[in-house]
Structure 1
Amino acid sequence: MSQKTENLLTVLDVGSAKTRVLVAELHEGALRFRGYGETESTGMRKGLVADLKNATQSINKAATTAEGMAMETIDHCVVGIGGGHIRGLNSRGGVSLGTRLREITREDVRAAVDRARSVSLPNDREIIHLLPQQFILDEQPGIHDPVGMVGSRLEVNLHISTASASALQSVVTCANKAGLEVTESVFEAIAAAEATVSADERELGSCLIDIGADSTELVVFFEGSVAHTSVIPIGGSHFTNDLAVGLHISVPEAEWIKCNYGHAVVTSVSSSNEIELQGMPGHSPRTVRQRYISEILEPRARELFQLLRENLRQGGVLEALGAGCVLTGGGSRLPGLLDTAESLLRVPARIGTPVPLSRMPEELIAPEYTALVGMLLYAHRTSVTRAAEDQGLRAKLRAIFAGSL
């Protein structure tokens, strides 16, 4: 592998509606856009692989397009994981450092995290994230990095994100068959937050709500750390299907109507506006009131945020959203959703778009690409952190060997 290829970062998002591949390069310590590919997802259903062959073909098509734009061969990637099989839980564990006070090392931190992660999980669950919330040193809470501090007992509050092992492996298998080696997986809501949620919002308390095609994924931050993750089984396709059934039209036409005339708040739509529907094949075109479209969409929007509010309440974080919530994902484009979110969650809401990479096309600075761009930022940050830790370890080993000479 050439040095140039090693500087490439590639991320893969296999969604229910679209399969996307984004390529960037490390240039002078920053990420620079190189290529992008997108295709309709085939072989996917409700965030899960339903047809291995078709899903592989979608990944291959998107990857080939991205390679052509980047003018580089891509052979490895970070993959995004989402869907109703994602689960999050909080755990606590710790280690005793002996009877005498001593300095906390990185190995002590790892030992405390390992103790906290030792929870009983079903056999079909696989851990995808271990996210420390805070460390407790000799009963002193609120510590973010205890390395170098002195104490006798170290504990950690840990958030653990898990996925269905079979669902995760199916995505990895499809990527492998398409010629991509998966180096890491990331929960898409956490990735989306990487590209949209500020440090101040994380500290004050904020909920990132990523509305995808078949599900809505969320992550709550409080005091700078992940406090809660979950998935609501409602997404943009449910709004589209409601319109298709209610208006007796095809799903593609329902999607077009939703995007061009939809609104989640009935009272915001004029009662006099009318639009023409083509209807199902064999039926004559007809007109309907635009407000009738909102009468179909509003109950689904309210259901989504009522379920979300109950999820936050059960997770104990409903009152922790001091900075409000951030809506992103393709489903967040529906007008009126911000009003619905603020009404039912009773906090400020805004639409989140990804921070742009250098040279990135303007059309990618949109809510539906937030998770994809966030995956790149997440992969870059974790690689920098690992490199710093490895460098520190090598320096320590050199010092040990130098001392033995």
Structure 2
Amino acid sequence: MNDFISAIDIGTTKICALTAAVVHDSLGNPALEIIGEGQALSRGIRRGVVVNVPEVTEAVSEAVEQCEAQADRIMTNAHVGIAGSHIATTNSRGVSAIDPQTGVTEADMQTALAAARTIALPEHQEIIHTVARSWTVDDQREILNPRGMSGYRLEVDAHVITGSSTAVTNLVQCIRTHDINVDGLVLEPLGSSRAVLRKDERRTGVALVDMGGGTTDIAVFLDDGLCHTEILDVGGHHLSNDIAVALHAPFETAEDLKLRYGSVLPERVADDEVVWAKVFGERSERSFSRRFVCQVLEARAVEILEMVGLRLEESGYLNRIPAGIVLTGGASQLNGFNDLGRQILNMPVRSGAPLPDIPIIALPRSLQSPSHATSVGLLLQALQEDAREVKKRFPVNPLTSADSERLGKTMRWFRNLLPG
């Protein structure tokens, strides 16, 4: 296991880079201690997809340099989050023979997963993840972990996640420009789930709804396994844009109003509350009813929640998630979202911030909100991720740990020469 793990979350709103040291908790289990954090405003990303490589590369550079300076260490490898409407999913099965003398081995499980990946892909699509939903040994079904079991035939029911080859290549290019190897591409809701879902929720049945700036990602977990994923082409930026259109205001003004005064439950806002905003065509700010602004937000929030409910119903999981919905991501922090979700979906809804019992020692306060669930989850996924699929396509640069230490010393020496 590596001594250090890094993650880069490239979202529509922000880019976050993290580096953690691999340590052990009080019980001797592997854990993480975050030693570097960097953040930059996102540029060149639209609805989770790179649309301007130079702008994204520059923003990634800002976040990575901040992280490296705090960690006092060059970032050479990273797990990177991926999302966007180009993501597609399918379910597949794979089979492997079992040696009855040894029982099911890790190699047998990997062989079955590899067989599940041999599916016909649409042109210009490639596999990002292959996640085991359940296993079957001979006639015994719905096994969560078959390792060591006796039998003759191993079968896996797998959830295969694919993405656009072009989108993947452009994303990786923005990272590799900084001489950072991509150890793994992680579907963002899969990463977020590591940080915010409780074990009992994953076992019983739960839907994680990750509301980012450009997309809303849905991931359904049942019997502790990932069963279904969907990406909705709507997110927090649509809420801000609705305000901008309604008030004839710049997007930045609308975003500020949303963050400072926004609520998706306008009935909780007093009739006489007023907000001021700069609008197009006028020199001075204009006053608006805060309740009106919140009514605009409510309309879009209802639409998003209804879309989530419809997709869950169409997938057959709406009535199979007694633990309900866990809302995470920056857009989910708008006042009243949980209560509105309960009204619209008629099921339990809670906010998803990184849990206190995740294997990260002394998680910094700056990373404890739902808006950082993906970034934290990427680090946790890195402890589990088998990145061989990605490494085959994006081979590792021949940079040793000794090289990394030398680069770190050179970087610190160079910084000492700079003024200020």
Q: Would the TM-score normalized by the shorter structure come out above 0.5?
A: yes
Q: Which amino acid aligns with 2:95?
A: G
Change (3 A) 1:346 1:110: same
Match of 2:407 in 1: none
In the aligned structure 2, how far is the partner of 1:133 from the partner of 1:113? 11
Match of 1:367 among 360, 367, 370: 370
- The alignment status of 1:352 with 2:352, answered yes or no, reads yes
Q: Which amino acid aligns with 2:333?
A: R
Paired residue secondary structure (1:150)? coil
Paired residue secondary structure (1:103)? coil
Match of 2:399 in 1: none
Q: Which amino acid aligns with 1:15?
A: G
Structure-2-length-normalised TM-score: 0.86
Match of 1:53 in 2: 54
- How far off its partner does 1:318 sit? 0.9
- How far off its partner does 1:97 sit? 5.1
**Bigger CA drift: 18-27 or 45-54?**
45-54
Match of 1:116 in 2: 116
- The alignment status of 1:125 with 2:128, answered yes or no, reads no
Correspondences of 1:4-403 after superposition (within 5 Å): 6-28=2-24, 29-95=30-96, 103-280=103-280, 282-355=282-355, 357-382=360-385
- How far off its partner does 1:93 sit? 3.3
Change (3 A) 1:93 1:359: closer
- How far off its partner does 1:359 sit? 4.3
- How far off its partner does 1:278 sit? 2.8
Change (3 A) 1:96 1:78: closer
Residue by residue over 1:133-155, the C-alpha shift from the partner in whole angstroms, topping out at 9 and shown as x without a partner, is: 11122232121122222223322
Assess if the C-alpha contact under 8 Å between 1:57 and 1:178 holds in 2: no
Q: Which amino acid aligns with 1:121?
A: L
- How far off its partner does 1:102 sit? 7.7
Q: Which amino acid aligns with 2:19?
A: V
In the aligned structure 2, how far is the partner of 1:80 from the partner of 1:236? 18
Paired residue secondary structure (1:92)? strand
Paired residue secondary structure (1:304)? helix
Residue by residue over 1:88-113, the C-alpha shift from the partner in whole angstroms, topping out at 9 and shown as x without a partner, is: 22122334559x89833333322322
Assess if the C-alpha contact under 8 Å between 1:190 and 1:219 holds in 2: yes
**Bigger CA drift: 279-288 or 315-324?**
279-288
In the aligned structure 1, how far is the partner of 2:373 from the partner of 2:157? 28
Residue by residue over 1:341-385, the C-alpha shift from the partner in whole angstroms, topping out at 9 and shown as x without a partner, is: 21222211111111463344312211111000000011023379x
Q: Which amino acid aligns with 1:299?
A: A
In the aligned structure 1, how far is the partner of 2:69 from the partner of 2:104? 49
Assess if the C-alpha contact under 8 Å between 1:102 and 1:152 holds in 2: no
Paired residue secondary structure (1:83)? coil
Match of 2:409 in 1: none
**Bigger CA drift: 113-122 or 300-309?**
113-122
In the aligned structure 2, how far is the partner of 1:149 from the partner of 1:378? 26
Paired residue secondary structure (1:54)? helix
Match of 1:395 in 2: none
Assess if the C-alpha contact under 8 Å between 2:94 and 2:115 holds in 1: yes
Q: Structure 2 stretches of 5 or more lacking a match?
A: 25-29, 388-420
Paired residue secondary structure (1:151)? coil
**Bigger CA drift: 194-203 or 46-55?**
46-55
In the aligned structure 2, how far is the partner of 1:38 from the partner of 1:188? 17
Paired residue secondary structure (2:385)? helix
Assess if the C-alpha contact under 8 Å between 2:97 and 2:108 holds in 1: no
Q: Which amino acid aligns with 1:47?
A: G
Aligned residues: 379
Match of 1:391 in 2: none
In the aligned structure 2, how far is the partner of 1:383 from the partner of 1:24? 18
Q: Over aligned residue pairs, what C-alpha RMSD do you find?
A: 2.0
Match of 2:395 in 1: none
In the aligned structure 1, how far is the partner of 2:335 from the partner of 2:62? 32
Structure-1-length-normalised TM-score: 0.89
In the aligned structure 1, how far is the partner of 2:361 from the partner of 2:109? 36
Residue by residue over 1:269-315, the C-alpha shift from the partner in whole angstroms, topping out at 9 and shown as x without a partner, is: 22222222232363432222111112211111111011111111121
Q: Structure 1 stretches of 5 or more lacking a match?
A: 385-405
In the aligned structure 1, how far is the partner of 2:105 from the partner of 2:78? 32
